[in-house]
């Protein structure tokens, strides 16, 4: 795989729930039969309220950078809500008087790609692949080259420009007593490192530890990321893609399912279910 530049095209099944990792793409630490964590997002249910984004901030100790830094492209939101106006591809359509008649919302966290472009470009191996299919990030190994962010087609990797965790510092985001809001299960990142969505790995490991202590396997529904927990319309479903009886595997096989930028062969773990438009005419 690496001998071909890391991105040798490989034939894949049309079933998003099958074949992880795809034969010929096992270039990282895969374990045969291991869990493959994945997510399904039903765009027909998503109302764009942003509750998932707020929950992600609270769960993962993400600082609020403010409007000035945001305008400079220095946001740190691990999960953004993309909005699309109209059904066409012309920019003018979004500026029409009737543009808001058809608005599509699309939550965009890290896709946890099976063939992740961010991993092979990291010179210090801070971006790596876990045996259960997550794109991990080692903060104390990262040297901030930002190669991973440059190579990510989804633009879901973010760089810490300032030390938001420094007590009494200029950019302190959690002055006393707000520091009591920090989640003790999640590392508070320092200046100069990349960060991104982790599928709430702290919740995954916590559920696995509880299951091990109870001498049982992790059951479908034991793990709920903060975004899925906060979603009022239950548009986000998380689980093991290799478990054919899981909800996420069933949704991944839904005819409405698709992957964002699937042509790039990144093999993302998130399946989006296309929004149902009443009265739409299907051609062909």
pLDDT-based confidence at residue 127 (cuts at 50, 70, 90): very high
pLDDT-based confidence at residue 133 (cuts at 50, 70, 90): confident
Give 281's DSSP letter: P
Q: Widest CA span of the chain, in angstroms?
A: 63
CA–chain centroid gap for 18, Å, is 19
Mean pLDDT of 257-276: 92
Selected residue with higher pLDDT from 217 and 34: 217
CA proximity to 21, closest of 249, 253, 248, 12:
12
Residue-level pLDDT at 13: 52
Helix (H) or strand (E) holding 151: helix 147-151
Residue-level pLDDT at 30: 54
Residue-level pLDDT at 52: 97
* Least reliable range by pLDDT among 33-47, 58-72, 78-92, 152-166: 78-92
CA–chain centroid gap for 169, Å, is 30
pLDDT-based confidence at residue 200 (cuts at 50, 70, 90): very high
Are the CB atoms for 148 and 121 separated by under 8 Å?
yes
- Listed in sequence order, the residues at least 6 apart from 78 whose beta carbon sits closer than 8 Å to its beta carbon are 56, 60, 62, 109, 110, 156, 158, 195, 196, 197
Mean pLDDT of 212-218: 94
CA proximity to 252, closest of 266, 238, 232:
238
Whether pLDDT at 276 is above 90: no
pLDDT-based confidence at residue 204 (cuts at 50, 70, 90): very high
Average pLDDT, the chain: 86
Token pair 């992957």: residue: 259
CA distance 94 to 88: 9
CA distance 60 to 45: 25
Selected residue with higher pLDDT from 280 and 267: 267
CA distance 159 to 148: 10
pTM of the model: 0.86
**Does the N-terminal peptide bond of residue 177 adopt cis geometry, omega within 30 degrees of 0?**
yes
Selected residue with higher pLDDT from 92 and 166: 166
Positive or negative CA dihedral for 266, 270, 273, 274? negative
Whether pLDDT at 246 is above 90: yes
Residue-level pLDDT at 11: 55
Residue-level pLDDT at 2: 46
Whether pLDDT at 161 is above 90: yes
CA distance 40 to 49: 18
pLDDT in tens, 6-37: 555 555 554 554 555 555 555 555 566 678 99
Percentage of the chain with pLDDT > 90?
A: 65
pLDDT in tens, 175-188: 889 889 999 999 99
* Least reliable range by pLDDT among 72-76, 99-103, 174-178: 99-103
Q: Say if residue 104 is exposed, middle or buried (CB neighbours under 10 Å; 0-12, 13-18, 19+).
A: middle
- Listed in sequence order, the residues at least 6 apart from 80 whose beta carbon sits closer than 8 Å to its beta carbon are 53, 107, 108, 156
Are the CB atoms for 22 and 253 separated by under 8 Å?
no
pLDDT in tens, 55-71: 999 999 999 998 999 89
Percentage of the chain with pLDDT > 70?
A: 82
Residue-level pLDDT at 151: 95
Selected residue with higher pLDDT from 108 and 33: 108
């Amino acid at each position: 795989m690496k001998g071909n530049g890391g991105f040798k095209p490989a034939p894949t099944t049309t079933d998003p729930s099958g074949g992880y990792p795809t034969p010929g793409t096992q270039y990282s630490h895969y374990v045969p039969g291991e869990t493959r964590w994945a997510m399904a997002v039903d765009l027909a249910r998503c109302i764009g309220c942003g509750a998932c984004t707020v929950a992600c901030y609270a769960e993962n100790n993400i600082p609020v950078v403010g409007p000035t830094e945001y305008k400079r492209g220095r946001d740190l939101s691990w999960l953004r809500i993309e909005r699309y106006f109209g059904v066409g591809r012309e920019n003018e359509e979004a500026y029409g008087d009737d543009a808001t008649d058809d608005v599509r919302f699309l939550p965009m966290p890290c896709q946890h790609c099976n063939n992740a472009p961010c991993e092979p470009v990291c010179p210090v191996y801070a971006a790596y692949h876990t045996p259960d299919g997550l794109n991990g990030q080692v903060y104390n190994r990262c040297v901030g080259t930002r190669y991973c962010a440059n190579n990510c087609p989804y633009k879901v990797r973010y760089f810490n420009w300032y030390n938001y965790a420094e007590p009494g510092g200029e950019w302190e985001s959690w002055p006393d007593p707000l520091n009591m809001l920090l989640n003790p299960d999640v590392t508070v990142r320092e200046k100069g490192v990349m960060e991104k969505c982790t599928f709430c790995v702290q919740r995954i490991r916590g559920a696995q530890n509880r299951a091990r202590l109870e001498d049982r396997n992790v059951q479908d529904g034991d793990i709920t990321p903060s975004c899925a927990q906060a979603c009022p319309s239950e548009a986000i479903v998380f689980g093991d893609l290799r478990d054919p009886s899981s909800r996420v595997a069933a949704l991944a096989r839904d005819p409405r399912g698709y992957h964002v930028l699937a042509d790039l062969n990144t093999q993302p773990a998130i399946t989006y279910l296309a929004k149902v438009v009443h009265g739409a005419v299907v051609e062909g």
